[in-house]
């Protein structure tokens, strides 16, 4: 079983829509969680860190459910510039390994 | 500008040749990492280094080697023993502390001809 699993999508949504991605992790010892954004043929860039039950940054909200071992990312009022692949990542605190999901592809349509 | 640089951006290699990918950071980060990314797969850890002159194998170290002679530099050599070297190689560094955010360089796309 993979450490982190994501729905690969693709998600095609109109501008202004709200879209949510879910991600599950298998290691209950995981304590640190992240969402990275990756544009085509570019490096991943940190979008949000999720340490407790969740956090919000503008149009982006990340939530963590430890009991069910899943993390979600909600994007409100989607912009064309939000089109990218979103990587879910889990890690044990202080550990060297990050475990990456395969990513969820989002395309925002005009 | 502070950041992580990788060179070259694109690299072509003939089968049987070793090739070295450069990774430099001026963020004063102690820990550095090498990942490879293949289509449809998540990033996989090749090697990591927590301090100078020390490094550890990751999940897919076979066919690769690294060195960490300076804090700023963590070069990766892809040897001829690596059976499927064509991939996107990403270097990252971490700023320490309790959490584990890693920051990535722009990557090197290696193609074996």
pLDDT at B97 over 70: no
Can you give the pLDDT at residue A23?
94
Cβ atoms of B47 and B34 closer than 8 Å: yes
Phi, psi of A80 (to 5 degrees): -55, -35
Can you give the pLDDT at residue B5?
96
Distance (Å, rounded) from C-alpha B66 to C-alpha B13? Answer: 18
* Helix/strand/coil (H/E/C) assignment for every residue in chain A: CCCEEECCCCEEEECCCCEEEEEEECCCCCCEEEEEEECCCCCEEEEEEECCCEEEECCEEEEEECCCCEEEEEECCCCHHHCEEEEEEEECCCCCCCEECCCEEEEEEC
Say what percent of chain A tops pLDDT 70.
96
Residue B4 distance to chain A (closest CA, Å) = 11
Give per-residue pLDDT as tens, A46-94: 999 887 778 899 999 999 999 999 999 999 999 999 999 999 999 886 6
Contacts of A45 in chain B (CB under 8 A): 104
Can you give the pLDDT at residue A107?
97
Residue B54's pLDDT band (cuts 50, 70, 90): very high
Can you give the pLDDT at residue B2?
66
Q: In terms of C-beta density within 10 A (0-12 exposed, 13-18 middle, 19 or more buried), how is residue B45 classed?
A: buried
Residue of B nearest to A32 (CA): B99
Q: Kind and range of the H or E element at B65? A: strand B64-66
Distance (Å, rounded) from C-alpha A88 to C-alpha A24? Answer: 9
Count how many pairs of residues, chain A against chain B, have C-beta atoms within 8 Å.
Answer: 55
Residue of B nearest to A43 (CA): B106
Comparing B95 with B35, the larger pLDDT belongs to B35
């Amino acid at each position: 079983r993979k450490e982190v699993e994501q729905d690969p999508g693709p998600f095609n949504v109109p501008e202004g829509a709200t879209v949510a991605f879910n991600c599950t992790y298998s290691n209950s010892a995981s304590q640190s969680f992240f969402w990275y954004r990756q544009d085509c043929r570019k490096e991943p860039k940190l979008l949000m860190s999720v340490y407790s039950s969740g956090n919000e940054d503008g149009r982006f909200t990340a939530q963590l459910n430890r009991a069910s071992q899943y993390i979600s990312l909600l994007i409100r009022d989607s912009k064309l510039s939000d089109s990218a692949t979103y990587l879910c990542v889990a890690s044990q605190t202080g550990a060297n390994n990050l475990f990456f999901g395969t990513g969820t592809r989002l395309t925002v349509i005009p | 500008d502070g950041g992580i640089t990788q060179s070259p951006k694109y690299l072509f290699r003939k089968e049987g040749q070793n090739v070295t990918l450069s990774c430099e950071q001026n963020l004063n980060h102690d820990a550095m990492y090498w990942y490879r990314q293949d289509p449809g797969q998540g990033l996989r850890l090749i090697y990591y280094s927590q301090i100078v002159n020390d490094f550890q194998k990751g999940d897919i170290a076979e066919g690769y080697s690294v060195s960490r002679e300076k804090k700023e530099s963590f070069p990766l050599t892809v040897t001829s023993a690596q059976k499927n070297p064509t991939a996107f190689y990403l270097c990252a560094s971490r700023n320490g502390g309790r959490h584990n955010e890693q920051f990535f360089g722009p990557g090197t796309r290696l193609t074996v001809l």
